[in-house]
Amino acid sequence: MTQTEALNILKLGVNVFLTGAAGSGKTYVLNQYIEYLRLKKISVGITASTGIAATHMGGVTIHSWSGMGIHDSLTTKDLADMYKKQYLRKHYIRAKVLIIDEISMLHAHQLDMIDQICRYFKKNDLPFGGMQLVMCGDFFQLPPVTKFQKIKDQASLFEQAKTDFVTESHIWNEMNLYICYLDEQHRQDDASFLRVLNDIRASDVNETTVEYLTDRLNKSVEGYSKPTKLFTHNTDVDTLNAEHLERLSCEKHEYFMVGRGNITLNQTLKKSCLAPERLILKVGAQVMFVKNNYDQGYVNGTLGEVIHFDKDDHPVVRTFDGAEIVVGQASWEIKEDNVELAAISQIPLRLAWAITVHKSQGMSLDAAEIDLSRSFVPGQGYVALSRVRSLKGLSLLGMNQMALTVNEQVAELDQDFKKSSDEGVIYLSNLGKNKTEEMQESFLQHLLSE
């Protein structure tokens, strides 16, 4: 399905699961739909299962927005107590569409809880209280993090993940869900690399797949003397970045994050933002942009090096494709009906000699040095590899068999999603342009009349 076809289905007002491989443009389509709704003066709840994903869209976590917080279940008293909170009542009453990004990291019981809360607040027994639900994500990415039991071994981790995806929720099959599977590729344009990623994703790894990857073992990346290293743990990342920065003898320049608006939401933004609250830079520092700004010539994941600071103390970064960018302050906002509730400002950079695989989600990396020799769960290799744009941008330090596997349940689900998406394309084609536009306008009028 193309991005245009997916956007047209979203505009019909049906419940949607928007999915596709890494780099297929899922967040782009979401942002297009959000902008469309805002222009039509339709209130939309913009959320994600993680704070990092939420900040990419100017939203908050679904845990915060819904009011469920850290609850694992809800009693009638819990719901009544939540209903007493004016800010919750306000945005439930106003919201007509609910968006949840990175749905793969949400537990099945949590989606059922969100449905339960929506029905209670909206006084409507339709799924999610009658709101259009738009879920977005890729189940090949990071799975839900369990806290129900201490995971002692690999087998128990697989079993926990197997039973906890939102596809196992009670509401999943009750909401007449349309699947929009994006099959275009906007991150990787390397045919060989695309084949590698698709082979891993389809559980169809063969000799050719392995050959393409082993050819990048301990290979340097042309034009990148220090490609970003991907680690699984924050401590490794922080230690390496601090060591590299300390080795630079130049004067340090410090930048502090500034916040405004609602204090609680402000703290949420700070915790979720990839830009640090205190950013220390020096000439020679390897950095990564952590926000999209197409006009300025960078995206989330663009790599470069600080070459000097201008008269206003703005860092000047030379990207690895040769562009020189004066980096000013950027803002991350939380809005409701185009009204700013909270915002933070900071230089949109972070040190990038190393980052975690987790924080790399959503990024398009020009180059990366990845060690997959200690991969311990299915899908971990795919998540790391799919951050990079091409094979020539990859330096592979090691690889084990686990790195080339994916969760079997996810692979089966993916085939079902593709089939359902193909049926959606046929449905849209049979509707025709005039009928599609008529139904889209009818949905808008319905929302505006509520």
**pLDDT (tens digit per residue) in 204-244:** 899 999 999 999 998 888 877 678 888 767 788 888 999 99
**Claim to verify: residue 107 and residue 254 sit in the same structural domain:** no
Does the structure show a pLDDT above 60 at 149? no
- CB 350 within 8 Å of CB 315: no
Prediction pTM value? 0.75
Say whether both 142 and 253 belong to one domain: no
Average pLDDT for residues 61-76, to the nearest whole number? 83
- Name the token pair of 429: 């084609």
Residues 168, 309, single domain; the answer is no
Closest CA to 19 of 132, 112, 127, 100: 100
Boundary residue ending a domain (370, 385, 404): 404
In terms of residue numbers, what domain contains 353?
A: 191-404
> For the chain, how many structural domains are there in total?
2
Helix residue ranges per DSSP H, 273-367: none
On whether both 324 and 302 belong to a single domain, the answer is yes
161 shares its domain with 259: no
- How far apart are alpha carbons 210 and 401 in whole angstroms? 10
**Percent of the chain with pLDDT strictly greater than 90:** 42
Identify the pLDDT of residue 383. Answer: 86
Same structural domain, 71 and 141: yes
Same domain, 281 and 327: yes
Cα 244 to Cα 63, 240, 358, 383: the distances in Å are: 37, 6, 21, 26
CATH number at residue 176: 3.40.50.300
**Mean pLDDT across the stretch 429-438?**
93
For 435, list phi and psi in degrees, rounded to 5.
-65, -40
| Same domain for 309 and 225 | yes
340 and 398 together in one domain: yes
Same domain for 278 and 237? yes
One domain, residues 183 and 210? no
Mean pLDDT of the chain: 85
pLDDT above 80 for 321: no
Instruction: Indicate if 177 and 145 belong to the same structural domain.
Output: yes
